[in-house]
Structure 1
Amino acid sequence: MSTATLDWYGCATFRLRTPEGLTVFLDAYLDRVPDAERSGVEVDDVTEADWILVGHSHFDHLWGAERIAVRTGATVVGSYESVRILARLGVPEEQLLAVAGGERLALDATTVVRVLPSLHSCVWSSQPMPPADEVCLGELGLTLQERTAKMQALWAGLGALGDDVRAHLAAADLSERGDGGALVFVLDTSEGSVLFQDSIGCWSGVLGGESPDVAILAVAGRGNRDGEPVQGSTADFVAEQAAALGARRVVPCHHDDWLPGFSRAIDTAPIRAAVERASPGTALVDLGYADGHRLFESPLT
């Protein structure tokens, strides 16, 4: 009997296949620089997709959706900013659905996705990519202008990156206006439900109302709880979200070294330990690249 499978392609990009034959991409960032870890699948390898659900408009989530959509005819669901970018890049309007949170979409006769408003990680923080067990404090109550100034200071240091990375960033430049408003997707399939979060931030009241079987959670960056940087560690924040959701499985994402010199690999061992303490009934399942994980199958390992 067919079963739902989940393939991770690095960063926060996944392919979900349902027993009924539906193919859904969660984000679409597949191409890498030569020195990066590679999943073995790039944008030009994708020939089948029915839907692409994009969590936010940054290049490491959206770039690639325009080519996959044009090649396969897939419908892309994303923020109004993501849709604006994709329309400018030539994706037909009939393949674009703009959402902001609160929408419910039928992907086929058996799979429905609900869209939730979410938050991006605190990329402007002086600790934008801490180790998972590092405690981060402070930076509360900053205005948007203060956060923007901190972000500009961080970007000023990118000139020291290697030629390959700078060329990659130039090619992936979508001229986006920020993250476009982060989204979380909850897919209800014939076998179970899966929540997809591609940046480590949330509205706790929104997330706390969900109870998926599987939660894909971003585990890299300075966490954002209800609009303020998390006071504590990434590991404890992920564990807090896992406990609130009560999912049987948590699948981490955005934790590989997807753009060396710009990103960093995140050790998930402290996250696993924190999840075990906070939510003993939840198993953290750390996927390898493109390994066809059987999403709802027991035992939970």
Structure 2
Amino acid sequence: MTKKSRTVQRRTVLGGLVGAGMAFAFGSVDHVSAQSPPRLEPRSIAARQRFFGASNVDSGTGGIRADRVVITWLGCTTYAMAMNGSVFVFDAWIPRGTVSGYVPTDPDEVADLRPDAIFIGHGHFDHAADAGRIAEASGATVYGSAEHCAAVRKSVDTRAVRFIELGDAATPVGDRRDVEAGNVSVTAIRHLHSTPTAPEQGPEGSPPFFPTPNTSDIAAHPPELDDATSLARHVFDAEGGSILYQFRIPGFSVLWHDTAGPLGERAPQVLTQLHELPPTDVHLGAIQGFGQFTNGLRDPREYAEAVAARLFVPGHHDNFVPGISARGETYEAPLRAELARLDSPPELRFMSDPTDYLNPGLLTFSV
């Protein structure tokens, strides 16, 4: 695959990447947003300041600086993102059920962000179980397949929630939809959920990966009854199709997917589509999946190669179901080994649970 150019037009913008612990020296609230947003309630302002950093949020209105993109990890593949003054939630599940309090927030606080939209990657419980609760409480528009939207409709007052359907479960892999969400251009591409495939033989193959389970978090964060009951209600939720999204504003783009399927084997045309998208600055990609048991982290590596972003941030690698999943730290060495196989590997911003949850300083960018 011919690599995308990473020349200056791919941006000097990531020079604005801010690491954890670094301070901002911002000016007046003239920077907050080109629009004049309505004044939010105090609890929403407080939530936005916590999720996106107090320096990026107007303390009087809750408006967010349009010259910053801020992304906050909320567990598994759920993120909150502020972009061009809009607030989006990617997936909608705060990990809990086998544990409680492992991620230091809850669906009610996510709803307090007053997100403009929720984008669902697929419908399994660990990705969409809180979508209805957050959407109904916040008024966010829900984007996803017809099946994703139908599942959410069952749990909400449909008069309070708007839905944008992006095909259905039968929509062909590779289908592309382009929409506008607020002041952000969004491309949605149908791709594949992770699945085990026959081990790839020869020097190109990747070794199987079996992360060591960590059960100590159950003892430290025992499950509460309400959380366990919520998990039980959603544990068999259907996939409903898997969708990958790219979000673009002038000078910056973010690509996110909450699963990584065997595209090289079963849908190489999608790898070509990813390669031909407008350049991506930040790639948020799932690395934990069923394919790891036969082909290690090969499938996430193929996504990273096709997207060719400057910065890769792994997700779906945390201990969200202790005893089945593991601490993210177990994934770092095999992931680095996979990315090192690329001719032009992305910079890796590895985030570990639970210390990097709700840490906006890790993913704050100047635009």
Is TM-score (shorter-chain normalized) higher than 0.5? yes
Structure 1 match to 2:202: none
**Residue deviations 1:155-204, cap 9 Å, x none?**
xxxxxxx986864531434x63x310111011112341111110121433
TM-score (norm 1): 0.76
Alignment partner of 2:363 out of 269, 294, 300: 294
Structure 1 residue 14 corresponds to structure 2 residue 87: no
Shift of 1:245: 1.5
Gaps of 5+ in 1: 126-132, 137-161, 224-228
Instruction: Tell whether the 8 Å contact from 2:197 to 2:295 is kept in structure 1 after alignment.
Output: no
The aligned runs of 1:1-301 (5 Å cut-off) are 2-18=67-83, 20-33=84-97, 35=99, 38-46=102-110, 47=112, 48-92=114-158, 95-100=162-167, 101-109=175-183, 111-122=184-195, 134-135=207-208, 167-173=229-235, 176=237, 178-201=238-261, 202=263, 203-206=267-270, 207-210=274-277, 211-223=279-291, 232-234=295-297, 236-265=298-327, 266-287=330-351, 288-292=356-360, 293-296=362-365
Moved more, 273-282 or 63-72: 273-282
Shift of 1:230: 9.1
CA 1:296–1:191: 2 relative to 1, 3 Å: farther
CA 1:245–1:92: 2 relative to 1, 3 Å: same
- The one-letter amino acid of 1:114's match is T
**Distance across 2 between alignment mates of 1:231 and 1:277:** 18
Shift of 1:267: 1.8
**Residue deviations 1:237-264, cap 9 Å, x none?**
3222212211101110100010213323
**Distance across 2 between alignment mates of 1:249 and 1:53:** 21
**Distance across 2 between alignment mates of 1:250 and 1:261:** 27
Instruction: Tell whether the 8 Å contact from 2:191 to 2:242 is kept in structure 1 after alignment.
Output: yes
**Distance across 1 between alignment mates of 2:293 and 2:364:** 30
**Residue deviations 1:103-134, cap 9 Å, x none?**
2111113x111110011111799xxxxxxx74
Q: Looking at CA atoms only, which structure, 1 or 2, has the larger radius of gyration?
A: 2
CA 1:88–1:189: 2 relative to 1, 3 Å: same
**Distance across 2 between alignment mates of 1:277 and 1:34:** 36
Instruction: Tell whether the 8 Å contact from 2:98 to 2:321 is kept in structure 1 after alignment.
Output: no
Instruction: Report sequence identity in percent.
Output: 27
CA 1:295–1:32: 2 relative to 1, 3 Å: same
The alignment yields a C-alpha RMSD, in angstroms, of: 2.9
**Residue deviations 1:247-293, cap 9 Å, x none?**
10111010001021332334222212321331435111113211113
